[in-house]
Each structure stands twice: as C-alpha cells, then as structure tokens.
Amino acid sequence: MNYIDLKLLSPLEKIYHNDNLTENNYTKFSMLINEKKSFQLVVISKNNFIGDITINSPFNKTNLYSVEYIKSDYPLPSNADDYFRISDDGLYPDLLLPVNSEFKFTEGVNLFWVEIEADENNVGENVIEITVNEASEKIFVEVIDCKLDFNDFIYTNWFHTDCLMSHYKIDVFTDEYWKITENFLKTACDYGMNCVLTPIFTPPLDTEIGKERPTVQLIDVFLNNGKYSFNFDKLTKWIEMSKRCGVKYFELSHFFTQWGANHAPKIMATVDGEYKKIFGWETKASSKNYWKFLTELSVELKKYIEDNNLKEYILLHVSDEPNFAMLRSYSKASRLIHKLFKGYRIVDALSDYWFHKLKIVTNPIPSNDHIDKFIGKTSELWTYYCCSQCKKYVSNRFFSNSSLRTRVLGYQLFKYNIKGFLHWGYNFYYTQLSKKLIDPYKISDAGGKFPSGDSYVVYPAEDGTAYHSIRLKVFYDALQDMAALNTLKKLTSKHICLNIIENEKQITFSDYPHSDEWLLNTREKINYMIKENIK
C-alpha cells in the first residue's frame, strides 16, 4: 500500500527542497468569470509508486502540471536587498510540465500546480475534488458573475524569434519558423501579452559590438540605382499571425542600437540583385546615408501603417536604455525619429528623468526603482524591470523572489494608473550580448550574467510549443488583480479600491506588506465588493 498525504497550498507559496510542510492553508477562493486561477497540490509519499491524480472539476478548463526544479548559479546580484530567498541546493521551483497520464511519484514531496479557467456556466459555488489513491482533498471555488476589465493596458515582453531559430535549428521564415513562432506567441497572449516586439529589422538588442544576431528582418529592402523600395509582405504575415494569437499592439524594433543610439541596426537589402548587409555597427547613427534610408523608409512605412488602420496600435523606439552620458547621440536620433514619425507614439525604456524633462523622450518607460521621479509628470506612464531591479524591495520575477514580490505589481499598477509594462525577456535563450546559445533547462542565468528568471518565462518543449513557468502564471495573476480593481472602480470609485488595497499601509513601488495572506485576503475583499455591487 502507498501511504500518502495530500495538502493544498496557495499559488504564492514557493516550496523548496527540505521545506517543512504544515496543514492545508488554501481550501477556498473566489474568481471572476473570465479569469484563470491556480493552486498547488502537494503529494507526500512514503515510497515510490506509479499512479493517477484524479481531478473531479466542474470547470471545462482544468490543467494539471508537475512543478520541476531548475538550477541557478546566479540567483541575485551582490547589491540586492534582503527580501529574497536563496535555495541551499541552488534548485528553484519554476518549470511546469503538463501531466496527462500516470505519474511517477517519488518518496517525499511531489509538487503539482492546478490551473482552472471559469466561464458563465460556473457562476456560483463550485467544488473541485482531487484524489490520489485513497487520499482526497476538496477546494471550494466561488465564481462571481462579472468580468475582469484590463482597461486596454499594454503589456509587452520582448519576443526573440532568433532564439527559437537557434534552439530548434530552423531557418527564418520557413513553415516551421512560422508554426513555432505562433505557438510561443499564443502562449504569451494567453497570459496577458497584447503587444509584440515586431522585428521590421533585426532588433539591435543585447548584441556584442561588432557582432550580429541572426537575421529576422520582416521588411524586404531593395536598392537599385541609388533608390530604395520596400516590400511589406512578411510584415503583413507577421501582423496577421499576431492578431490570431491575440496581439493588438505592435512595437516596432529600435531604429538605433541599444544604450545610446550610436549606430544603425543590422539592415539587409537586395542591392542590384545581390542580398547583403547595407547598415550595421560600421554605420554611425549620424550617417547621411542612414538618415536618407530612414527618410525614404518612413514615407512608405507610414503609408503601409495608415492604409492598414494600424497607426493607433503602433509603438516606435529610438534606442533602449540611454543614460545621461549618451544624451547627445540619443538626442540627435530622437529628433530625427520624432520628425519622420510625427504624431506616432514613440517610447523608450530609461531611468534618467532628464530625458523626459528636456522633452527628448515624450513617452518614457522608467524602471520601477526610478519611477517616483516620473509619477504625475507624464500623461501616459509605463514601467519596466530587468536584471538591475533588485533593491528597494521593488517587484521582479527572479527565481529567488517570493511570488508575492512578483504579484504585488498588480496593485501598484492600479494605484499609480500605469498604462503599460515592458520586459525584455520572454524567451531569451542566449548568454549576455547574444554570444552563444544556452539550454534554459540547465542554464537559467544567461551564462552567469543575469539573475535566474530575468531572461525568460517559458521553456522550449520538444514539440515546438512553450512550457510554462510559475513566474509566467504569477505575473498574469498580477495583471488579473489590476483588472479586478478596474472592474471594482467602475462599480464604485478609485477611493474605495485604494481603501481596500491599503488597508494595512499605503502602497508604493517599494513599500507594501510582505505577507501572502495580506495579498490573497485583499483580493478576496475586492471580489466580495464586486459581488455586492453587481446585485
């Protein structure tokens, strides 16, 4: 006989090896009808055995995953604050593998993730019963007859198709390329992403100076007798694919290199019948030839965008993350792009407020540890985080972050009326500066350069689909929390919403209760108020 014990845990708990588990702490919750919700199942066994997990669920979509542990050699920077948890054995719960058949249970703790999706047929009280051998547990779920309101929030997590090409050993724009790209993009959209980095040219991001990333250029360029012409067929195919996945906004790749706009990106063209590179690291940003190219491109690109009614859904970039030392080069490039694309939304990630104060960047995206200087000083404020946001207790998604530290972002986004969020690494499977390919199952920190969890939130499955991570789901929970507050705000007021989420203390991007119970109970109060106000 297999002696086992079952426990149910909230989605915020991260169970590390050698953790001491207590009794069940998550036996009921509520949700709205267009929401995804998760909880964790722990199966504690006294021996190894093969068996089934039976889930009796009234929800049409009930997904079961095993939680797998991934190695981290670089869990956090040396200057990080004290709100992290470092694993003694370097293994962190992150990868979620679908469980569709019998499972090989091992002696000790076996951890699972259960996700449900509600619809109108689930309104009211629901019971999910989970059985393993003779042991069973129940969880009670109330579905409220109301929907989340994402309020046209824009979320982009940079999508790297060259990493997919490298991992799967496929060529650009083949049938297999388009199939795998769509698989990964559909997963991103299922978890909140509605804006995609669109490589009109190979994005000049995280690239070693003088080196190149694989070409993924969507606009075909022709140069004949000194005159440029363009073909947008691949871009059209990309946009159609993206819309099928759920994308609404298109973030065109940067017109100048990262960190200061000193050079042109790699641009390939057919020149008098020969396909070759015409711009790149050897091209200064101020090059007259490059400016001529951009001028001619802008005319045709704007015509394409406006003929296809895309203008309000297009975001343009100059250069990523400039700092004050790069003010001169960035300013010149920015003035050109603002002139050529007057009336378009031009955004860039940065942390230095001077770029906005001097009106060089009209739509800044500051990091969440520098955002205080920007609050109230721009009509459309976004935020981002990456490998550097490890201090001041700001939200992030590293392996070593608590899930609460990831999810609290939703309450912060709502309070400060943030319009969009950017992250650079949905599926970056290279080392820093794109020097070589890594196996994300074995190397989680870009070769020891970025804290584990920074550079990707999905794993490449053998069949060309994306395996999920705990962090992918928890970040989406943050977006759902924000959307629930939007729903309640429409029913009541923002003042009432803030009274709920700040019931213990005022929330800032750095200050909030470090308590799972606080966040979960607060979300239940939000749901209760929604229910009371729709009667």
User: Of 335, 366, 397, at which residue does a domain stop?
Assistant: 366
Q: How many whole angstroms separate alpha carbon 423 and alpha carbon 425?
A: 6
What pLDDT does residue 59 have? Answer: 98
Amino acid at 318: V
**Domain end residue (candidates: 313, 334, 366):** 366
Same domain? 216 vs 349: yes
CB 405 within 8 A of CB 396: yes
Per-residue tokens: 219 = 């606009």
Cβ partners under 8 Å of residue 53, min gap 6: 41, 43, 64, 99, 103, 112, 130, 131, 132
Is the pLDDT reported for residue 20 higher than 90? no
- Is the pLDDT assigned to residue 531 strictly greater than 80? yes
In this predicted structure, what is the pLDDT of residue 260? 87
CB of 392 within 8 A of CB of 372?
Answer: no
Report how far residue 366's alpha carbon sits from residue 323's, in angstroms, rounded to the nearest whole number.
12
Average pLDDT over residues 418-432: 98
Asked if residue 137 and residue 199 are part of one domain, the reply reads: no
String of DSSP letters for 151-217: TT-EEEE---HHHHHHHHT--TTSHHHHHHHHHHHHHHHHTT--EEEE-SS----S--TT--PPP--
pLDDT, residue 23, reads 66
Most distant pair of Cα atoms in the chain: their distance: 82
pLDDT of residue 284: 97
Give the residue-averaged pLDDT of 71-92: 97
pLDDT at 142 over 70: yes
Closest CA to 352 of 368, 333, 373: 373
Q: How many domains does the chain have?
A: 2
Residues 229, 144 share a domain: no
Model pLDDT for residues 327-372, shown as the tens digit of each residue: 999 999 999 999 999 999 999 999 889 899 888 998 999 999 999 9
- Looking at residue 25, its amino acid is N
Question: If you average pLDDT over residues 142-147, what whole number do you get?
Answer: 98
Q: Is residue 251 part of a domain?
A: yes
Q: Is 529 helix (H, G, I), strand (E, B) or coil?
A: helix
- CATH number for the domain harbouring residue 98: 2.60.40.10
pLDDT digits (tens, 9 = 90+) for 212-236: 999 999 999 999 999 999 999 999 9
What are the CA-CA distances from residue 486 to residues 187, 354, 506 (Å)?
A: 24, 32, 19
Check residue 3 and give its pLDDT: 73
Beta-carbon contacts of residue 312 (< 8 Å; ≥ 6 apart): none
What number is the average pLDDT over the span 483-510? 97
Q: Tell me the per-residue pLDDT of 91-137, one tens digit each, with 9 for 90 and over.
A: 999 999 999 989 999 999 999 999 999 999 999 999 999 999 989 99
Pair (105, 222) in one structural domain: no
Confidence check: pLDDT of 1 > 60? no
Q: Are 115 and 472 in contact (CB under 8 A)?
A: no
In this prediction, residues 429-442 reach a mean pLDDT of 98
pLDDT above 80: residue 419? yes
Find the domain containing 87 and state its range.
4-148
Q: Are 141 and 36 part of one and the same domain?
A: yes
- Residue 375, domain member (yes or no): no
Question: CA-CA distance, 229 to 298, in Å (whole number)?
Answer: 11
> What is the pLDDT at residue 122?
98
* 520: pLDDT strictly greater than 80: yes
Q: Is residue 506 in some structural domain?
A: no
478 neighbors 155 (Cβ within 8 angstroms): no
Backbone angles phi, psi at 533, to 5 degrees: -95, 0
Mean pLDDT of the chain: 96
Residue 10 lies in a domain: yes
pLDDT band of 399, cuts 50, 70, 90: very high
The answer to whether residues 110 and 198 belong to one domain is no
Domain annotation covers residue 480:
no
What is the percentage of the chain residues whose pLDDT exceeds 90?
93
Which residue type does 464 have?
Answer: G
pLDDT of residue 523: 98
Total Cβ atoms within 10 A of residue 414: 25
pLDDT at 25: 79
Under 8 Å between Cβ of 332 and 250 = no
475: phi then psi, degrees, rounded to nearest 5: -65, -40
**258 and 312 co-located in one domain:** yes
Q: Nearest 10 degrees: CA dihedral of 199, 203, 205, 208?
A: 150
How far from each other are the two terminal CA atoms of the chain, in whole angstroms? 51
Q: Which of 110-119, 282-291, 357-366, 433-442 has the least mean pLDDT? A: 357-366
In a domain, 389, yes or no: no
- Alpha carbons 320 and 261: distance in angstroms, whole number: 8
How many residues are recorded in the chain?
535
- 219 and 351 assigned to the same domain: yes
One-letter amino acid for residue 470 of the chain: I
Residue in 253, 185, 171 with CA at minimum distance from that of residue 214: 171
For range 156-182, the mean pLDDT: 98
Residue 126: what pLDDT? 98
| pLDDT band of 499, cuts 50, 70, 90 | very high
Residue type at position 265: P
Q: How confident is the model at residue 22 (pLDDT cuts 50, 70, 90)?
A: low
Cα–Cα distance list, 298 to 41, 295, 306, 333, 334 (Å): 54, 5, 12, 14, 14
Structural contact between residues 176 and 168, judged by C-beta atoms closer than 8 angstroms: yes
Q: Would 25 be classed as within a structural domain?
A: yes
Q: Are residues 114 and 214 in the same domain?
A: no
Cα(255)–Cα(258) distance, rounded to whole angstroms? 9
Residue 2 has pLDDT above 90, yes or no: no
Per-residue pLDDT band for 45 (boundaries 50, 70, 90) equals: very high
Helices then strands, counting H and E runs in the chain, come out as 11, 25
Shared domain check, 357 and 231: yes
Indicate if 93 and 199 belong to the same structural domain.
Answer: no
The answer to whether residues 222 and 347 belong to one domain is: yes
- Last-in-domain residue among 366, 397, 429: 366
Does any domain span residue 361?
yes
